[in-house]
Amino acid sequence: MNPKSNPFSSAGSGLIRGGLSAYGEKIFGSGSEYVQSNISKCFSDPQYYFQVNDHYVRNKLKIVLLPFLNRGHWTRITEPVGGRLSYEPPINDINAPDLYIPCMSFATYLVLAGISLGLSGKFTPEALNWKFVTGMMGWFSEVMLLKVSILSLGGGEAPLLDMVAYAGYTFTGMCVAVLGKITLGYTYYLIILWTCLCMGIFFIKTMKRTLLSEVRSYDSSKHHYLLLCTALTQFPLMFCLSNISGT
């Protein structure tokens, strides 16, 4: 019998092809969803971190540089999106992390380092490039410190770009410190101590109320020591970056 003239054979082969097609779509679809979910969990949406305006930038700088004057809450604002809670963007929430201020602060830090090198007669393209490398190393070290602190609490993880943003706020304090050393001389040491203290307070408040809230579960008996250690590391890190800047 010719298979082409057999309706049962044609129907059976059609069912087999349809089943294999559906099964393949299910496998590749679930794999794609898994990859996308893990990418979004680690990196979130980069555009989210640049949704800022002048009002946000001014108030965020006040919180970063003068955290003890903040009388409001430190928790992030959520909104229901697609049946689940999502964080409001920085333009609508002063406690949301952004990458605009860290990036601009890092660029300003490099400009101030170049000015300081020029005033001391040590400016070269290679020297400025070295400031860029050491600045990035300091930023990376801060991110790793936050990452290790969260992992050591025993569970969960925060989005990577959140930690990159929070670590980058260190350069706002560095800009103030380096500018103070350029213009005010030896009073720089008082300024660097003040900025280190403010950055330490900012990190304690941020990690306690914002960053750790994104971790599903953690050992509360450890987090007080980790918060203190994270705050104390701001002193050697900022002193090191200041000395590296050649100011």
Question: pLDDT by residue (tens digit) across 193-241?
Answer: 888 888 888 888 887 766 555 555 555 556 666 667 777 777 777 777 7
Rounded-to-integer distance, Cα 199 and Cα 175, Å: 12
- Burial call 12-23: b when 16+ CB within 10 Å, e when fewer: eeeeeeeeeeee
pLDDT by residue (tens digit) across 96-137?
999 999 999 999 999 999 998 898 888 899 999 999 999 999
Concatenate the DSSP letters of all residues of 184-221 into one string: HGGGHHHHHHHHHHHHHHHHHHHIIIIIGGGSS---HH
Q: Are 228 and 200 in contact (CB under 8 A)?
A: no
Taking each helix axis from N to C terminus, what angle separates 234-244 and 220-232, rounded to the nearest 10 degrees? 30
What is the reported pLDDT for 194?
87
Q: What is the pTM of this model?
A: 0.75
> What's the burial of 115, exposed, middle or buried (CB within 10 Å: 0-12/13-18/19+)?
middle
Percent of the chain with pLDDT over 70: 69
Share the mean pLDDT of the chain. 76
What is the reported pLDDT for 12?
46
Q: 26 pLDDT exceeds 50?
A: no
The residue among 227 and 164 whose pLDDT is bigger is: 164
Domain residue spans of the chain: 51-242
Structure tokens at 135: 């600045």
Q: 169 pLDDT exceeds 90?
A: yes
